[in-house]
């Protein structure tokens, strides 16, 4: 109850601020992402980090420049395993290109203020031919990105900004897509009318809010009973305790929906340790979850927010500096979901437990050691 109250209060706060006004349950965006999931992406399916939906391209002939280039990157941080995998992947991508003379990187360590200063420093340095930005938060970084746009081609990826001045904004299909994939699986596979527990990391983050609203909408329409939506802070101990509490109350959970996979294994363990059969527990492409899934033979799904999207900004920057048109102002990459059918393609016990399998990094320099594998 308190959680719901806090979430509502936070949502109200977000809506009350005009600059940050965002609707996390937008039927238009929901439909757009649902269509993308059903559509075929353009390009070679072997290199999903270069695929895109639709045919709207950004003209970049004005940015054409002779190489070799200096590419600059303002990173929000490497403060979670997803970003660690992505960052390793991006560095490997840079190594593949001889016409990148210099790759200048700043790490904002999760701070808006530091990232704004970082971008100013990069611009003042005057050596960047193109700037890649992975914003820490959407609203706070918008003015800094707008300033950069006036000086050089900017490519934004992962989280967005509230301006269309960058050449392109690279991201997978999106949060609604993630929620649609897992929501539809539960709607089709959980016992009819059964109880579903929704576990979320924290409120207020757009890519997580949209995952939640999409899945909730689908599961409610399918007649499932959402017994609770609880925040775990991405904490295993909290996750396990919450699931155990629901079990102890006598709730027969037909499924546990997760907005991210970091604590899926903890939710599974709660059932195991109480001697119960594990129901559907959704996850993501972390190796620990995939291996557990294979080991105990779950019936579940793992939507991904693929880390191969960290390859795309480097490739996009080089295309822009060659004056080659790229998808823009939005570049949506495919967002595959792992199912029991293709699980074997992604499980790899020689990679670390928190490695994200959809990294598209298997053919890259330094694989697997660079990603902590053996």
Partner 1 sequence: MIERLKQINPVFLVLALLFVAIAILSPYFLQPTGYMNFLKRAAPIAILAVGQLYVINSGGFDLSAGALVTLTVIGSSILLDGDASATWWVVLVMLGVGVIVGTANALVVSWLKVPSIIATLGMMITLSGVALTWSGGAPRGYLPENFRFFGRYLIKDVPLIKILPVAVIVMVIVCAGMWWLMHRTNYGKRLIAMGDNPKAALLAGVPLTETRIIAFVVSSVSAVIAGILLGGFAGVSTDVGVGLELQAITAAVIGGAQLLGGRGTVGATIAGALVLQAMFTLLNILGFPKPIRDVVQGLILISAVVIAGYRRRRSGG
Q: What residue ranges bind partner 1 (CB under 8 A)? A: 1-3, 79-81, 110, 233-241, 244-245, 248-250, 262, 265-266, 269, 273-275, 288, 352-354
Residues 6+ apart with CB under 8 A from 33: 173, 174, 175, 176, 177, 180, 214
Q: How far is the CB of 274 from partner 1 (least distance, A)?
A: 6
Tokens of 26: 């937008």
Cβ-based nearer residue to partner 1, 63 or 289:
289
Cβ-based nearer residue to partner 1, 93 or 269:
269
Cβ-based nearer residue to partner 1, 3 or 8:
3
Cβ-based nearer residue to partner 1, 2 or 62:
2
Q: How far is the CB of 190 from partner 1 (least distance, A)?
A: 22
Q: How far is the CB of 173 from partner 1 (least distance, A)?
A: 25
* Alpha-carbon span 16 to 22, nearest angstrom: 10
* Alpha-carbon span 298 to 95, nearest angstrom: 39
Q: How far is the CB of 250 from partner 1 (least distance, A)?
A: 7
Coil, helix or strand at residue 24: coil
Cβ-based nearer residue to partner 1, 67 or 234:
234
Q: How far is the CB of 30 from partner 1 (least distance, A)?
A: 30
Q: How far is the CB of 116 from partner 1 (least distance, A)?
A: 20
Task: Name the strands in the sheet holding 280-281, side by side, starting at the edge strand that comes first in the sequence.
Answer: 225-231, 195-200, 253-258, 280-281
Contact assessment for residue 176 and residue 209, using Cβ atoms and an 8 Å cutoff: no
| Structure-token match 């102890």, residue found | 248
DSSP character for 284? -
| Structure-token match 């997580």, residue found | 208
Would you give the distance in Å from CA 212 to the centre of its chain? 14
Cα dist. 284→18, 33, 187, 272, 355 in Å? Answer: 33, 18, 18, 20, 11
Cβ-based nearer residue to partner 1, 211 or 240:
240
Q: How far is the CB of 272 from partner 1 (least distance, A)?
A: 9
* Alpha-carbon span 201 to 218, nearest angstrom: 20
Cβ-based nearer residue to partner 1, 84 or 326:
84
Q: How far is the CB of 81 from partner 1 (least distance, A)?
A: 7
Cβ-based nearer residue to partner 1, 165 or 354:
354
DSSP 295-340: HHT----EE---GGGGTHHHHHHHHHHTT--EE-SEEEEP--EE-T
Cβ-based nearer residue to partner 1, 38 or 250:
250
Q: Is 43 exposed, middle or buried (0-12, 13-18, 19+ CB in 10 A)?
A: middle
Contact assessment for residue 48 and residue 336, using Cβ atoms and an 8 Å cutoff: yes
Q: How far is the CB of 252 from partner 1 (least distance, A)?
A: 12
């Amino acid at each position: 109850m308190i959680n719901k109250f806090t979430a509502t209060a936070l949502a109200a706060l977000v809506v009350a601020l005009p600059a940050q006004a965002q609707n996390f349950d937008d039927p238009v965006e929901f439909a757009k992402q649902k269509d993308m999931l059903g559509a075929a992406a353009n390009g070679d399916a072997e290199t999903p980090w270069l695929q895109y939906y639709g045919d709207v391209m950004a003209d970049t002939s004005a940015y054409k420049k002779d190489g070799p280039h200096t590419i600059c990157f303002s990173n929000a941080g490497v403060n979670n395993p997803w970003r660690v995998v992505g960052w390793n992947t991006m560095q490997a991508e840079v190594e593949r290109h001889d016409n990148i003379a210099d790759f200048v990187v700043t790490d904002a360590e999760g701070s808006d203020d530091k990232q704004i200063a970082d971008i100013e420093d990069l611009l003042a340095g005057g050596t960047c031919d193109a700037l890649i930005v992975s914003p820490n938060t959407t609203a706070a970084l918008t003015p800094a990105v707008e300033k950069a746009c006036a000086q050089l081609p900017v490519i934004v990826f992962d989280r967005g900004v509230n301006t269309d001045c960058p050449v392109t904004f690279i991201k997978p299909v999106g949060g609604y897509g993630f929620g649609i994939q897992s929501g539809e699986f539960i709607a089709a596979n959980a016992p009819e009318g059964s109880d579903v527990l929704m576990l979320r990391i924290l409120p207020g983050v757009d890519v997580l809010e949209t995952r939640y609203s999409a899945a909730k909408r689908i599961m409610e329409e399918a007649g499932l009973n959402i017994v609770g939506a609880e925040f775990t802070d991405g904490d295993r101990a909290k996750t396990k305790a919450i699931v155990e509490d629901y079990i102890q109350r006598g709730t027969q959970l037909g499924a546990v929906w997760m907005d991210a996979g970091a604590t899926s294994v903890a939710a599974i363990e709660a059932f195991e340790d109480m001697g119960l059969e594990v129901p559907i527990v959704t996850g993501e492409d972390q190796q620990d979850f995939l291996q557990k899934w294979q080991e105990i033979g779950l019936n579940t799904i793992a939507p991904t927010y693929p880390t191969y999207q960290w390859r795309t900004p480097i490739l996009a920057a080089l295309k822009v500096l060659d004056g080659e048109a790229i998808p823009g102002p939005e570049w949506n990459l495919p967002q595959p979901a792992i199912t029991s059918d293709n699980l074997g393609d992604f499980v790899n016990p020689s990679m670390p437990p928190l490695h994200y399998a959809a990294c598209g990094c298997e053919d890259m320099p330094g694989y697997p050691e660079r990603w902590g594998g053996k």
